[in-house]
């Protein structure tokens, strides 16, 4: 140590900004890739499916998986491998269409309730409560009977119309919270109009939870379609979807044809799981504070 270091230091530039926080990594690759494969496979199924999925070849009923029929055939002699990809289209379409309807309804009605003065708000909430009080299954059947013969888009509409209620409540509370937040007040002080506040402040803060809800709606709609079709309330067995494929499952139970139950169900489950993982990622994790316990 030398004495010449004991001299007043020359002023040095001060680094003001803290270093950027490294982005957190989610284990998202697997679900995204799986879902991508399933969606792509369903969309481009004409390119690779070996047989016409609607063709009923009565010579080959209930064939277990083998080289000709990788996933076996069902009780009407259709090739399950082809049906999976072809029917997935319908299932995914219903899922996305229904989610679009229900998310739209939830966002519009939820925001209305969140922005409305107390009196109309209670009215909206009451109405919501009454609709929610009918078991979902009954509601679906009711609306469907109004709409008439089951078709894919009809089912999507029905599922969309019955799936928005709880989402609307979430939207309402979020809108209320955001509306009272100080940065919205600040923007109003500066003269920001309704649409400015909506575009610059509400929507960006709102997007994660909307995405989450939309993804969860897709998930719920796909599951509901399969349940309905299985119970004979949805698509008839002639219209191929994962749900209608499973509607043959009950007879397959007694005949020990496991592939008829397992394979479509497995695809269904994988899709639902991937959607859940993606939805949770969009929602963001739990708060980063530490447990005090």
Partner 1 sequence: MAEILLDVRGLTHRYAMTSSRSVTALDGVSFQIRHGEIFGLVGQSGSGKSTAARCIMNLLRPTGGDLHYKGVDLLDPKQRRENRRMLQTTRQLIFQDSASSLNPRMTLADIITEPMVINSVKPPRGSMRAEAEFQAAKVGLSPSCLDRRPPELSGGQRQRAAIARALCMEPELLIADEPVASLDVSVQAQILNLFRHFQTEHGFSLLFIAHDLSAVHWLCDRVGVLFHGLLVESAPTTELFENPLHPCTRALLSSVPLPDPRRERQRRLERFDTDTLPAAETLREVSPEHFVLKED
Partner 2 sequence: MPLLEVIDLSVSFDTPGGELQAVRDVSFSLDAGEILAIVGESGCGKSVLCKAVTRLLPDTARIKSGSVVIDGLSLSSMPERKVQKLRGQLFSMVFQDPMSALNPSLSIGAQIAEAVRVHAPCMKRSEVRERVLELLSLVGIDRAADMYKLYPHNLSGGQRQRVVTAVALASGPRLLFADEPTTALDAGLQTQILDLLRDIRQRLGTSTVLISHDLGAVARAADRGAVMYAGKIVETGTTEEIFYDPRHPYTWSLLLSLPSRAERGRKLHSISGTPPTLIDPPSGDAFAPRNPWALEIDYEQSPPMFRVTDTHFAATWLLDPRAPKITPPIGGNDRG
Partner 3 sequence: MRHNALLLTKKLIIFLAGLLALSMAVFCVSRMAPGDALISYYGERAEKMSPDERSAAEARLGLDRPLHVQYVRWLSGAARGDFGISFMYKTDVLSLIRSRLGNTLILGGSGFALIFFLAPLLGILCTRLEGRWPDRLICRLGAVSGCIPEFWLSLLLIALFSVTLRLLPGSGAYCVGKSGELADRLEHLVLPLTVVVLSHLWYYTYLVRSRLLGEVRQDYVLLAKSKGLTPRRILFRHCLRNIMPSYLSLMAISIPHILGGTYIVESVFSYPGLGTLSYESARYKDYNLLMLLCVLSGASVMLCSSLAQAVSRRIDPRMRDGTPVSGEARNDG
Residues that bind partner 3 (CB under 8 A): 126, 129-130, 132-138, 141-143, 145-146, 148, 180, 219, 223, 226-227, 230-231, 233, 246, 249-250, 253-254, 256, 258, 261-262, 265, 268-269, 272-273, 276-277, 286-287, 289-293
Residue 257 CB, shortest distance to partner 3, in Å, is 10
Minimum distance of partner 3 from residue 3's CB (angstroms): 50
Is the separation of the CB atoms in 241 and 87 below 8 Å? Answer: yes
| 1-40: contacts with partner 2 (CB under 8 A) | 1, 3-9, 12, 14-16, 18-19, 21-22, 24
- 189 contact, one of partner 2, partner 1, partner 3, none, CB 5-8 Å limit per kind: partner 1
Q: Whole-number minimum distance, CB 153 to partner 3, in Å?
A: 18
CB of 281 to partner 2, least distance (A): 16
In the numeric block, the tokens 């600040």 are attached to 186
Quickly tell me which residue has 């029929």 as its tokens.
69
The total of other beta-carbon atoms located within 10 Å of residue 290's CB is: 6
Residues 4, 223: Cα–Cα separation, whole Å: 77
Spatial neighbors of 188 by CB under 8 A, at least 6 apart, are 197
Residues of span 8-47 touching partner 1 by CB under 8 A:
16-18, 20-21
Closest CA to 266 of 34, 104, 24: 34
DSSP symbols for 10-74: PP-PPP-SPPPPPPPPPS-HHHHHHHHHHHHHHHTGGGT-SS-TT---TTSSSPPS-SSSTT-B-
By CB under 8 A, residue 227 contacts partner 1: no
CA 230-235-240 angle, to 5 degrees, is: 90
Contact segment (CB under 8 A) with partner 1 among 126-134, 164-172, 185-193, 249-257 equals 185-193
Q: Which is nearer to partner 3, 54 or 136 (CB)?
A: 136
Q: Interface residues with partner 1 (CB under 8 A)?
A: 16-18, 20-21, 181-183, 185-193, 196, 200-201, 204-205
């Amino acid at each position: 140590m030398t004495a010449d270091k004991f001299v007043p230091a020359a002023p040095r530039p001060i680094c003001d900004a803290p270093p950027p926080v490294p982005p957190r990594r989610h284990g998202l690759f697997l679900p995204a890739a799986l879902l991508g494969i399933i969606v792509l496979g369903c969309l481009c199924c004409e390119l690779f499916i070996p047989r016409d999925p609607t063709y009923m070849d009565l010579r080959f009923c209930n064939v277990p998986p083998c080289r000709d029929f990788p996933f076996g055939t069902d009780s009407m002699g259709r090739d399950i491998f082809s049906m999976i990809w072809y029917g997935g289209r319908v299932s995914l379409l219903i899922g996305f269409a229904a989610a679009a309807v229900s998310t739209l309804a939830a966002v519009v009605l939820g925001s209305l309730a969140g922005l409305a003065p107390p009196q109309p708000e209670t009215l909206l909430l009451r109405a919501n409560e009454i609709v929610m009080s009918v078991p979902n299954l009954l509601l679906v059947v009711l609306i469907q009977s109004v709409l008439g013969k089951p078709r894919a888009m009809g089912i999507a509409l029905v599922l969309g119309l019955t799936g928005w209620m709880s989402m609307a409540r979430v939207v309402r509370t979020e809108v209320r919270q955001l509306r009272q937040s100080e940065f919205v007040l600040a923007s109003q002080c500066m003269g920001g109009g309704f649409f400015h506040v909506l575009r610059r402040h509400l929507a960006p803060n709102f997007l994660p939870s909307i995405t989450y809800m939309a993804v969860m709606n897709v998930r719920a709609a796909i599951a509901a379609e399969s349940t309905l079709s299985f119970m004979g309330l949805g698509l008839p067995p002639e219209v191929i979807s994962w749900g209608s494929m499973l509607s043959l499952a009950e007879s397959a139970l007694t005949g020990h044809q496991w592939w008829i139950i397992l394979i479509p169900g497995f695809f269904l489950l994988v899709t639902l799981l991937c959607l859940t993982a993606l939805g949770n990622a969009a929602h963001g994790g739990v708060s980063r504070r530490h447990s005090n316990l």
